[in-house]
Structures are given as structure tokens and as C-alpha cells.
Structure 1
Amino acid sequence: MANLKEVKERINSVSSTQQITKAMKMVAAAKLRRAQEKIVQMRPYSQKLTSILNNISSGAEGVSDIVYAQERSVANLLIVPITSDKGLCGAFNSNIIKAANVVIQEHQGQNITVMPVGKKALDFFKKQDYSLVTAHSGLFENITFEPVKKAAEYVMEAFVEGEFDQVILVYNQFKNVATQVVVKEQFLPIAKMEEEENDISQQDYIFEPSKDYIIEELVPNSLKIQFYKAILDSNASEHGARMTAMSKATDNAADLLKDLKLVYNRTRQAAITNEILEIVAGANALEGK
């Protein structure tokens, strides 16, 4: 059985850890509230733009006019795994890396390039034997539309120039505080709507001032917003995952403290009992004399 000093040190250590995890949970909760507001406000706008974009690109005439919707044989693939810059958020980052590796396995034989977003993805793929695009890995240092727009523009220009034939985003989609869903989303070329969806959702649009102007302006902006939405989704998911992880860590620390205090009390009681027995034994020995 451990002595009192060792148990006391463990109690102090766990108590300190519990204070840290509790503070991190509160910080994550505050950041999550702001991040959740951003993604909730952005999502309806992004989804409507994407719906319009898919509707336009689903028509034969629309596809021929949109360079971002042109499908070609996939020889060069760009994968964009979006992780966080920091850890202590459960399986948040490892799930993205696993999903990205699944995509890589599914496209064996193609030239694969990885554009990691977030330090955790960058640190992992630096150790792998893939071509890397690292210029836009630090988007989470300051989450504003401008740097995200530049990253999206790089991807879009590379696709148009034929450097990549397909671009896939891998990120965590925010559902709620406890739930984040890993999404593997084709960013380019623009995905067509399924025939079943076309029967229900295909709509005729009146283009004003002109179809060419709408395609030239709407499509690139919609893609940039779609990329920005993925970043906001991942950011909100990160804080949700960290809040959940720190909440569980705080609860585990409380359970461990409970057990340690029980061990401490038992050890202390055993020490007191031994001292009493020694005193009694000493007294009996004196009386025997």
C-alpha cells in the first residue's frame, strides 16, 4: 500500500489537472459559441448557393459554360484535409487523417497532392511521401474570409489550368456540441445533381443581367464560400470536440480524486491503527516487566 505522502502528491497532481481541464472546457465553450454562430449564419446561404450552382451545372448547356464543372479523366488528385492547429480535442484530428488516408487508398495509381489545412494535418503529411502544398496551412491562425478566399482561388486556378483534375475536401461537419461528422466532399469539378434530384429540384432560372455574367460571378464566389463554410464547420467542430473531451477529462479527474481520497483515508486509518497497536504492545511489555 502506498504511503500517505505519495497518495497526497497524487491527489494534488490530479486536482491541478482537473483545474486545467475545467478551465480549458470553459474557454472551449466560449469559443464554440462564437464559432457556432458563424457557421449557423453561413450554412443556409452556402447551401442555397450550392443548390443553385448544382442546378445550373446539371444542364448540358450549363456544364459547357462552366470551367469549374468540366469533368475529365482523373490523373492528378488534390486532397485537402482540414484539421486543427492544436490537440486535446479527442479523435477530432485522427478521424480526418484516417478519412484522408482512405481517400488516398481509393485513388491508388493517381498522382496525389495533399494541401493540409491545420498544423496537425501538416505535421502528419510532412512525414509521408506525398507532394505537399503548404502555403495555405495556417488558415486557423486568423479565420477571416480573405485568407480562405486566397486558398480557394489557388485551388480553383490550379484546376482550371489542369494541374489537378479533381479536388476533395475532408473535414468535420458540425452537428452539435457532441457530434461532428467526417465529410469527404468533392470540391471540384462541381458535382452534378442526381437524375432523381433533377426531376424534383431542377428549376428554370431567369438570368439577369445575363447568363454569362452570372456564371462568371456567381460560380467562383459560390466555390469560395463553400470552401469558407468547410473551414467554419471544422472550426466549430474543433471547439465542440475539445469542450466534450475536456468535460470528460474533468469528470474522470473527479472520479480519480474520489478513489484517491478513499485510498488516502484508508492508508491514514491503517497508519493510525498501527500506531495504536505499537503503543498497546509497548504498554503490555512494560506491564510484563
Structure 2
Amino acid sequence: MASLKEVRNRITSVNSTMQITKAMKMVAAAKLRRAQDAITQMRPYANKLNQLIATVSANSETGSQSPFTAVRPVEKVLIISVTSDRGLCGAFNSNIIKATNALINDKYATQLAAGNVTIKALGKKAFDGFKRLGLTVNGNHSDIFTKLSFAEAREAAEEAMDAFEAGVYDEVILVFNEFKNVATQIIRAEQMLPLVNKVDESAASNVDYIFEPSEDEIILDLMPKAIKMHLYKAVLESNASEHGARMTSMDKATENGGDLLKDLKVVYNRTRQAAITKEILEIVGGAEALKDS
């Protein structure tokens, strides 16, 4: 049985850890509110932009002339994997790494065997994780969440777009956590390039736009913006998901710390009672020995 001093030290340690996890939960909750507002405001804009491009492209041949809609045999693949810069958020990061690995093994095993699968890491945990796995990591945006902005996401998107346009990659896939609520994040694997527009043809035929300056210029100008917005939206989704996952994780850690503290207090009381009983027995034994003498 552990000594009283050891048990007291463990109780002090658990109390200190619980204070840290409570503080981290409060910080994550404050950041989550801002991140949730950002993605909530972004979704309608991004969805409407995609709908606009899909609707206009359905009635135009210009969309098919864009270098970002070029469909080629998939020989070289770029996977953009979005994680966080920090840990202590449960399985948030490991789930993305596992999902990316599963995607590669299931869909791109041939390309992997030929050494034609490349990872672009958005988030320090993705960069470190895929480096350890021995995969090719090209492009390190591990500090994207330090100064989260559209400019940072645009830079990463433009690198992928330029490489796709130059024929370096035939397909670009985006893997990220979609924010549903504080306790739930949904892993998404979406095709970023080539750009595929899905639209209800009956709805598209009923839409009549007046174009200024021209239909072709608008389509060719909006397509790159939509691709960049796709990546930025994924980053915002991941940011909100990270804070939700950290908040849930720290709440669970605090709860587990409370359970451990109860058990340690029981052990402390039992140890203390055993020590008191031992001292009483020693005193009684000593008194009896004095009587006999």
C-alpha cells in the first residue's frame, strides 16, 4: 500500500491537472464561439457561389475550357490533409491521418506503389504525422491556424491550382473535419480539382441571368475563386471542429480527474486509518509488555 505522503502528492497532482483542463476547456469554449460564427456565415456564401457556377456552366461551354475542369487519367494525386497545430483534442488529428491513409490504400494504391501520391499538410500535426509514416509531404502550411485568414488559405490553394494546371497532379483531394456540433465532427474527403459542377438541369434551365461584362469572363473568373473558397471553407470547418473536440476532450479529462480524485481520497483515508490502527496496536502492545515486566 502506498504511503500517506505518496497519496497526498498524487491528490495534489490530480487537482493541479484538473485546474489546467478546466482552464483549457474554457479557452476552447471561447474560441469555439468565434470559429462557429465564422463557418456559419461562410457556408451560405460558399454554397451559393458553387450553385451559381454550376448553374451558369450548365448552359455554357466556357466551363469546359477552364484548365481547372480538365479531366485526365489519374496517375499523380495530391491529397490536402487538414489537421490542427496542437494536440490535446482527443482523436481529432489521428482520425484525419487514419482517414487519409485509408483513402490512399483503398482508392490510390496503384499510384502509391508508383510513388505518385503526395500530401500537402495544413496543420502541424498532419505534417509530423505523415512524415513519420514515410509519405511524401510537399508543402508545409503547419502554421496556417496561427494567423487564420483567407490570404493564408488562398496561398495554399494557389499552389495546388498551379500544380494541377501544369500537369504535376491529375487530381486534388481535400480531407478535413466538418463541424456538426461540439461533440461531433464528420470526416469529409472531397474532390477539389478537377472542378466538378453538379446541378439540377431542370432548375438551371429556368434561370435567366444578365451577364456583365460577359458570360465567359464571369465563369473563368469565378472558378478559381470557388476553388480557393472551397479550401478556405474546409479550413474554417476544421478550426471549429478542433475547438469543439478540445472542449469535449478537456471536459472528459476533468470528469475523469474527479473520479480519480474520489478514488485517491478513499485510498488516503484507508491508508490513514491503517496507520492509526497500527499505532494504537503498538501502544497497546507496549502497555501490555510493561505490565508483564
Alpha-carbon distance between aligned partners in 1 of 2:129 and 2:186, rounded to the nearest angstrom: 21
Report the aligned-residue RMSD.
1.8
Deviations 1:190-218 (A, max 9, x none): 12327xx4456665341411111211221
User: Residue 177 of structure 1 aligns with which residue?
Assistant: 182
TM-score (norm 2): 0.92
Whether 1:141 aligns to 2:142 is: no
User: Residue 213 of structure 1 aligns with which residue?
Assistant: 217
Whether 1:79 aligns to 2:79 is: yes
SS of the residue corresponding to residue 68 of structure 2 reads helix
Displacement after TM superposition at 1:62 (Å): 4.8
Whether 1:61 aligns to 2:61 is: yes
Is the alpha carbon distance of 1:201 and 1:243 closer, same or farther for their aligned partners in structure 2, counting shifts above 3 Å? farther
CA contact (8 A) 1:57 1:69 kept: no
Counterpart AA for 1:204: V
Alpha-carbon distance between aligned partners in 1 of 2:202 and 2:258, rounded to the nearest angstrom: 56
Whether 1:281 aligns to 2:282 is: no
Size of the alignment, in residue pairs?
287
Whether 1:247 aligns to 2:251 is: yes
CA contact (8 A) 1:167 1:187 kept: yes
CA contact (8 A) 1:82 1:116 kept: yes
Counterpart AA for 1:115: K
Alpha-carbon distance between aligned partners in 1 of 2:249 and 2:58, rounded to the nearest angstrom: 42
CA contact (8 A) 1:83 1:93 kept: yes
Deviations 1:131-165 (A, max 9, x none): 32224332112101112111111111211221111
Alpha-carbon distance between aligned partners in 2 of 1:274 and 1:73, rounded to the nearest angstrom: 81
Displacement after TM superposition at 1:91 (Å): 0.4
Is the alpha carbon distance of 1:96 and 1:16 closer, same or farther for their aligned partners in structure 2, counting shifts above 3 Å? same
Alpha-carbon distance between aligned partners in 1 of 2:14 and 2:88, rounded to the nearest angstrom: 17
Displacement after TM superposition at 1:66 (Å): 2.9
User: Residue 271 of structure 1 aligns with which residue?
Assistant: 275
Q: Could you tell which deviates more after superposition, 240-249 or 218-227?
A: 218-227
User: Residue 109 of structure 1 aligns with which residue?
Assistant: 110
SS of the residue corresponding to residue 232 of structure 2 reads helix
Deviations 1:203-250 (A, max 9, x none): 534141111121122111121111111001101111110111011000
Is the alpha carbon distance of 1:101 and 1:201 closer, same or farther for their aligned partners in structure 2, counting shifts above 3 Å? farther
Unaligned runs of 5+ in 1: none
CA contact (8 A) 2:177 2:185 kept: yes
Alpha-carbon distance between aligned partners in 2 of 1:17 and 1:202, rounded to the nearest angstrom: 61
User: Residue 99 of structure 2 aligns with which residue?
Assistant: 99
Counterpart AA for 2:74: V
Counterpart AA for 2:272: R
CA contact (8 A) 2:164 2:171 kept: yes
SS of the residue corresponding to residue 109 of structure 1 reads helix
Displacement after TM superposition at 1:115 (Å): 0.6
CA contact (8 A) 2:174 2:192 kept: yes
SS of the residue corresponding to residue 141 of structure 2 reads coil
Counterpart AA for 1:161: A
